[in-house]
């Protein structure tokens, strides 16, 4: 049985099964809260993007946006699947290098890369830096000159695309902290600094319009706007981009109201838009890069929690508290994100009531799910929240000095601990005494 469109089934005990393993076994073996990933789903997602480009026979790179979920094991899976890797910080770059990810397939992002981060990228000869602002150009010039090296870059531009997604995850609009604005001429100023540069090789343009996008129109509009600018640079400076990176943002199903497109639909339409524009300008089609994060790992992740206390407020609402919450999944509190969940040990039992799932942090806003249909639920039951694979572990905090949960990978009936859960000792490990 597939549960509410989520790619998981149940066994003959009526328990939720993840990657061929009973979720109750995982909860018992590793404790809760626990992040569980079905690695088969991660591989399937990665392959659908790669295959979509292969089917069209166009030159492309699919870079996994590791901000969605980064740890050594995940980076290794990305490498096994032939993905490139997008990193945005020293920590993500270090993780990638420690995981043995080939540095030439790493791309670095960030709207405030430090001198140290840029130096690390140069020292390790990563594949490409996506330039975001004028200060970064200055830093990069200095560093490359000092070290007598060169670096491939893309210019991140904001084309002015408004999207139907949460304001906090919209990035291609004009009023954005990211990238160079096309409309006000800043993108052109940056282009003039970079075109024919001695140390910086401008390979092309980057644009990321936002996240959790369910339609292709925004991507197509972005491509058209990028090409309007490219046309000006072609006419004036003879510039022909070798690469066009259209970022990530492909939406996934969190709840039944989400209707994601098949990944090949995004790819097909992006490729068509790039092809049409390249033909119009009579230039070779640039290589197309994309950077999916959520759509690679989101639906592969399930968070397991143990049910504890509950509170009934007659005529108002029932609350059920679990042993995690906003510290391991900030998305409901930050974006009012919605999730679906089942009681993993009663996954085939029909719901009879609704209860709201509260986290254990000292915040009224620490609510994971409002009014969730549930069977009769008691302390010790295991709650499984679906589609928590992206920006869950990645955005986890130690608020209330809660320890970050462990991460387990499951594939073909075998489970493996890939990130140890923190202990109380880990929580104080950087604290120093003031006595
Ligand atoms: C530049 C860039 N690339 C890729 C991504 C990945 O986005 P998503 O996880 O929505 O695919 C993001 C995050 O929104 C981003 O800022
Ligand atoms: N962290 C966000 C998306 C932003 C992605 C990074 N630009 C989320 O959980 O939806």
Residues 230, 307 within the same domain: no
10-residue mean pLDDT series, the chain (435 residues)? 82 97 98 98 98 98 98 99 98 98 98 98 98 98 96 94 57 78 95 96 96 94 96 98 98 96 97 98 98 98 98 96 98 98 97 97 97 97 98 98 98 98 98 98
The domain boundary, picked from 222, 257, 292, lies at: 292
> Is 71 in the active site?
no
Return the residue whose CA atom lies nearest to atom 10 of ligand 1.
Answer: 249
- Counted residue by residue, the chain has a size of 435
Residues 209, 312 within the same domain: no
Q: Is the CB of 331 under 6 A from ligand 2?
A: yes
Q: Is the CB of 391 under 6 A from ligand 2?
A: yes
Task: Give the residue, out of 335, 337, 388, 394, with the most ligand 2 atoms within 8 A of its beta carbon, to mutate for a pocket test.
Answer: 335
Q: Considering the domain boundaries, does residue 401 fall inside one?
A: yes
Helix, strand, or coil (residue 226)? helix
Distance 86 CA to ligand 1 centre (A): 9
Residues 130, 254 within the same domain: yes
Ligand 1-lining residues (CB < 6 angstroms): 65, 68, 86, 109, 171, 208, 211, 247-250, 291-295, 390
Q: Is the CB of 156 under 6 A from ligand 2?
A: no
Distance 283 CA to ligand 2 centre (A): 34
| pLDDT value for 189 | 98
Angstrom CA distances, 291 to 60, 66, 103, 268, stand at 11, 9, 16, 15
Residues 253, 399 within the same domain: no
Residues 123, 223 within the same domain: yes
| pLDDT value for 175 | 77
CA dihedral 234, 238, 239, 242 (to 10 degrees): 110
Q: Considering the domain boundaries, does residue 150 fall inside one?
A: yes
Residue whose entry in the numeric block shows the structure tokens 């339609």: 215
CATH number of the domain where residue 15 is located: 2.40.37.10
Q: Considering the domain boundaries, does residue 339 fall inside one?
A: yes
| pLDDT value for 169 | 52
Residues 194, 328 within the same domain: no
Q: In the chain, what are the helix, strand and coil shares in percent, each to the nearest 5?
A: 35, 25, 40
Residues 189, 140 within the same domain: yes
Residues 307, 194 within the same domain: no
Q: Considering the domain boundaries, does residue 43 fall inside one?
A: no
The domain boundary, picked from 292, 318, 351, lies at: 292
Number of folded domains in the chain?
Answer: 2
Ligand nearest to the CA of 87: 1
Bind-site residues for substrate: 294, 331, 335, 363, 391
| pLDDT value for 423 | 98
Q: Which atom of ligand 2 is nearest to 331's Cα?
A: 9
CATH number of the domain where residue 115 is located: 3.20.20.10
Q: Considering the domain boundaries, does residue 202 fall inside one?
A: yes
DSSP per-residue codes, 55-81: HHT--EEEEEEGGGS--HHHHHHHHHT
Angstrom CA distances, 422 to 181, 304, 306, stand at 42, 16, 17
Q: Considering the domain boundaries, does residue 71 fall inside one?
A: no
| pLDDT value for 162 | 66
Structural domain harbouring 148: 109-292
Ligand nearest to the CA of 65: 1
| pLDDT value for 160 | 79
| pLDDT value for 176 | 82
Annotated catalytic residue, options 71, 84, 128, 362: 362
Task: Give the residue, out of 391, 394, 397, with the most ligand 2 atoms within 8 A of its beta carbon, to mutate for a pocket test.
Answer: 391
Residues 404, 380 within the same domain: yes
Residues 126, 157 within the same domain: yes
Distance 391 CA to ligand 2 centre (A): 6
């Amino acid at each position: 049985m597939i549960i509410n469109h989520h790619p998981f089934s149940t066994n003959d005990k009526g328990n939720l099964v993840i990657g061929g393993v009973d979720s109750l076994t995982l909860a018992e073996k590793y404790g809760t809260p626990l992040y569980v990933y079905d690695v088969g789903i991660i591989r399937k997602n990665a392959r659908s993007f790669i295959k979509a480009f292969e089917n069209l026979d166009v030159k492309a790179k699919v870079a996994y946006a590791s901000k969605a979920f980064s740890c050594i094991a995940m980076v290794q899976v990305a490498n096994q699947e032939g993905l490139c890797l997008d990193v945005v910080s020293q920590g993500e770059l270090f993780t990638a290098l420690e995981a043995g990810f080939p540095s030439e397939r790493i791309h670095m992002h960030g709207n405030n890369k430090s001198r140290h981060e840029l130096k690390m990228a140069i020292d390790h000869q990563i594949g490409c830096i996506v330039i975001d602002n004028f200060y970064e150009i200055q830093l990069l010039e200095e560093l490359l000159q000092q070290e007598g090296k060169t670096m491939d870059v893309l210019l991140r531009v904001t084309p002015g695309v408004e999207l139907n997604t949460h304001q906090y995850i919209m990035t291609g609009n004009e009023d954005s902290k990211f990238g160079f604005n096309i409309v006000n001429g800043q993108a052109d100023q940056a282009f003039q600094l970079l075109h024919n540069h001695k140390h910086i090789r401008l390979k092309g343009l980057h644009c990321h319009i936002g996240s959790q996008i369910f339609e292709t129109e925004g991507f197509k509009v972005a491509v058209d706007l990028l090409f309007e600018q490219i046309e000006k640079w072609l006419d004036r400076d003879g510039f022909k981009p070798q690469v066009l990176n259209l970022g990530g943002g492909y939406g996934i199903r969190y709840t039944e109201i989400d209707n994601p497109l098949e990944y090949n639909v995004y790819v097909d339409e992006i490729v068509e838009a790039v092809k049409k524009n390249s033909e119009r300008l009579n230039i070779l089609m640039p290589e197309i890069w994309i950077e999916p994060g959520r759509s690679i790992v989101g639906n592969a992740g399930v968070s397991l929690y143990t049910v504890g206390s509950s509170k009934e407020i007659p005529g108002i609402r029932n609350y059920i508290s679990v042993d995690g919450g906003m510290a391991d999944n900030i998305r409901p509190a930050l974006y009012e994100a919605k999730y679906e969940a089942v009681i993993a040990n009663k996954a085939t039992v029909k719901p009879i009531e609704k209860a709201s799932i509260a986290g254990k942090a000292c915040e009224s806003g620490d609510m994971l799910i409002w009014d969730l249909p549930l069977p009769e639920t008691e302390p010790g039951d295991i709650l499984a929240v679906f589609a928590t694979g992206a920006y869950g572990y990645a955005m986890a905090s130690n608020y209330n000095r809660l320890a970050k949960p462990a991460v387990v990978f499951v594939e073909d009936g075998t489970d493996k601990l890939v990130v140890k859960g923190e202990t109380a000792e880990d929580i104080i490990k950087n604290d120093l005494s003031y006595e």
